[in-house]
Amino acid sequence: MITRREAAQILDIPLEMAHRHGIPSRLSDAELGEFLDNPPAWLLQSRANRTGKRPVWVQLTCAVCGFSEAARPKKWWPEFTYVICAHHAPDEVPQAAAGLVRSEYEGVGSRFVGIVDVAVPEA
């Protein structure tokens, strides 16, 4: 048995869409296989409408301890250099290289801080 969330990740659709189209809270491997082998019209349409610019799901993995979770990327997320669990100290990842400035973004996924290293603009 898999959860609706896991099914949404496998089908590469938002959780809200899975709920809206009646995917049960738990389904068997055979039921999921039926969705994959014979996708309903709404799933085919969803796939056809994708622009490919943003993924539906991303895998976030802590650079310190390796904890990982799938999450829906937010529009405000930049390209992270590192992602770490909120309880880790930022100095547990390598320092930003010379000429780079580090920024931290809290509230990434359920428990992460995103770290971004960017080049310092020339004056």
Q: How many domains does the chain have?
A: 2
Q: Kindly state whether residues 67 and 111 are assigned to the same domain.
A: yes
pLDDT value of position 26: 94
For the stretch 80-110, what's the b/e string if a residue is b when 16 or more beta carbons lie within 10 angstroms of its beta carbon? Answer: bbbbbbeebeeeebeebeeeeeeeebeebbe
Question: In which band, very low, low, confident or very high, does the pLDDT at 123 lie, cut at 50, 70 and 90?
Answer: low
Residue 82 lies in a domain: yes
Q: Where are the alpha helices (DSSP H) in the chain?
A: 4-11, 15-20, 29-37, 41-48
| pTM for this entry | 0.76
Residue 86 lies in a domain: yes
Q: Kindly state whether residues 36 and 64 are assigned to the same domain.
A: no
Q: Which two tokens stand for residue 34?
A: 């039926």
Range of the domain at 88: 58-119
Q: Kindly state whether residues 113 and 64 are assigned to the same domain.
A: yes
CB 61 within 8 A of CB 68: yes
Q: Kindly state whether residues 82 and 106 are assigned to the same domain.
A: yes
Q: Kindly state whether residues 21 and 63 are assigned to the same domain.
A: no
Q: Kindly state whether residues 63 and 26 are assigned to the same domain.
A: no
Q: Kindly state whether residues 28 and 73 are assigned to the same domain.
A: no
Q: Kindly state whether residues 28 and 72 are assigned to the same domain.
A: no
Residue 63 lies in a domain: yes
pLDDT value of position 56: 87
pLDDT value of position 28: 92
| Tokens 């409408």, residue located | 49
pLDDT value of position 93: 94
Residue 53 lies in a domain: no
Q: Kindly state whether residues 43 and 71 are assigned to the same domain.
A: no
Q: Kindly state whether residues 65 and 29 are assigned to the same domain.
A: no
pLDDT value of position 79: 92
- The model's pLDDT over 51-110, given as tens digits with 9 standing for 90+, comes to 777 788 999 999 999 999 999 999 889 999 999 999 999 889 999 988 899 999 999 999
